[in-house]
Amino acid sequence: MRLDFAPMEGITGRAFRETHAACFTGVDRYWMPFLSPTAEHKLTPRQLRELDPGSLGPARLVPQLLSRDPEDCIWAAAAIGELGYPEVNLNLGCPSGTVVSKGKGAGLLRDPAVLDRFLDTVFSRTVLPISVKTRIGLESPAEWEALLPVLARYPIRELTLHPRTRRELYRGDVHPEALDRALELLPFPLCYNGNLFTPPGVQRLENAIPALAGVMIGRGLLADPSLAARCKGGSRDRAVLLSFHEELAARYLADMHPDGAVLPKFKELWAFLSLLLEDERAWKSLRKCGRWRDFHPLALELLRNAPLLPEADFSRLNQREMECRTLTASDHNS
């Protein structure tokens, strides 16, 4: 079964993807964090840098679009196709409040009729194959029943389903019955995303639903970058984890200020990586660091010598992410 690395805004940019792929096996495809096309219909230099497939090649990358304007999506899909990509993905799942309030991402799930008109225009005038990533509704899992027939009307190349509502964000359990209904009613391939944190968890899903085209993992791979390799029979190697950390730091430091940009990025990454550490106090020490020169040696010491858990402890994640968001905002504003 195919294994995809989920797009994580602000984390899994080009430098991260290429560094991860150079250090770890197991990921079949990487997804780019979403591009938001504008009415100017021009790719920015930053977007072009992200769309450069680099060492991965376009076959291993999936560009994703976030927009509520079908004309902007049609133009962007054509531009992405001209760059050699075989597929573009539509984001119907981003739960960010600022995104949803503008009717984008999961905000497009608010009204099935509006979604239907949007998809009708995009699919009728786009040559490049289109996949979709979605949640099951905005406020209630019951909304999924009205969304299913809308999605079923279109030639979606593949649907990646995160079976939570926008309101639920990433909290609590997923809704497996929503996946069951999708498998029952939708005529195209399905990929599953949500709460996949361990190799046994991935294996149980594959055994239970062999019809899935693939699985997508995001937070699990940030906590343990070797997770995809372990899902395919590999193991975790502390030396490789250290190499990944240092190569990523070198790429960031070549282009960004150590304290103004690199430190917030690494604090966000360590909010996940620290879930592998036995000692809870280690994260508290890391998040208090105000300068890269203090943070970096402590992170290296932990990677080299700190006891690691067999599996990341995701019971600590919600609090960790909240602390990290507060701290990185403070770092950016300092």
pLDDT in tens, 220-270: 999 999 999 999 999 999 999 999 999 999 999 999 999 999 999 999 999
Using the predicted structure, report yes or no on whether residue 47 has a pLDDT greater than 60.
yes
Q: Domain check: are 326 and 217 in the same one?
A: no
Q: Which residue, of 186, 208, 231, is where some domain finishes? A: 231
DSSP E strands: which ranges in the chain? 2-5, 29-31, 61-62, 64-65, 88-92, 130-134, 159-161, 190-193, 214-217
* Res. 323 pLDDT band, cuts 50 70 90: low
- pLDDT at position 327 over 80: no
User: 10 Å Cβ neighbour count for 304?
Assistant: 11
- Give pLDDT, residue 321: 63
State yes or no: pLDDT of 22 exceeds 70: yes
Which of the four pLDDT bands, split at 50, 70 and 90, describes residue 99?
A: very high
Note the residue count of the chain: 334
pLDDT for residue 171 is more than 90: no
List of long-range contacts for 53-59, beta carbons under 8 Å, 24+ apart? 53/84, 53/85, 54/14, 54/18, 55/18, 55/21, 55/22, 56/17, 56/18, 56/21, 56/30, 58/83, 58/84, 58/85, 58/86, 59/86
List the domain range (segments joined by +) for residue 290.
238-333
Q: If pLDDT is split at 50, 70 and 90, which confidence band does 315 have?
A: confident
Shared domain for 293 and 278, answered yes or no, is yes
Type of residue numbered 307: P
119 & 181 share domain:
yes
Domain check: are 248 and 176 in the same one? no
Q: What is the rounded CA–CA span in Å between residue 249 and residue 266?
A: 8
| Same domain (yes/no): 168, 96 | yes
One-letter identity of residue 60: R
Q: State which of 175, 200, 231 marks the end of a domain.
A: 231
The two counts, helices (H) then strands (E), for the chain are 15, 9
pLDDT of residue 334: 28
User: Tell me, what CATH number does 159's domain have?
Assistant: 3.20.20.70
162 with 259, same domain? no
Say how many domains are in the chain: 2
Same domain membership, residue 117 and residue 247? no
How many percent of the chain have pLDDT more than 90? 88
Considering the domain architecture, whether residues 43 and 91 belong to the same structural domain is answered as yes
Residue 325: pLDDT band (50, 70, 90) is low
Q: How many CA atoms lie within 13 A of 213 on its CB side?
A: 15
* 251/121 same-domain check: no
d(CA 286, CA 32): 28
What is residue 280's predicted lDDT score, i.e. its pLDDT?
A: 83
207 with 323, same domain: the answer is no
Does one domain contain both 308 and 176?
A: no
Q: What pLDDT sits at residue 330?
A: 37
CA distance linking residue 74 with residue 122, whole number of Å: 6
Q: Which residue, 231, 252, 271, sits at the end of a domain?
A: 231
Shared domain check, 195 and 248: no
Assign 316 a pLDDT band (cuts: 50, 70, 90).
Answer: confident
Which residues is 193 bridged to in the sheet?
216
Average pLDDT of 188-200? 96
The pLDDT score that the predictor gives to residue 328 is 41
Give the strand pairing for 88-92 and 64-65: parallel
Q: Please tell me the predicted confidence (pLDDT) of residue 332.
A: 31
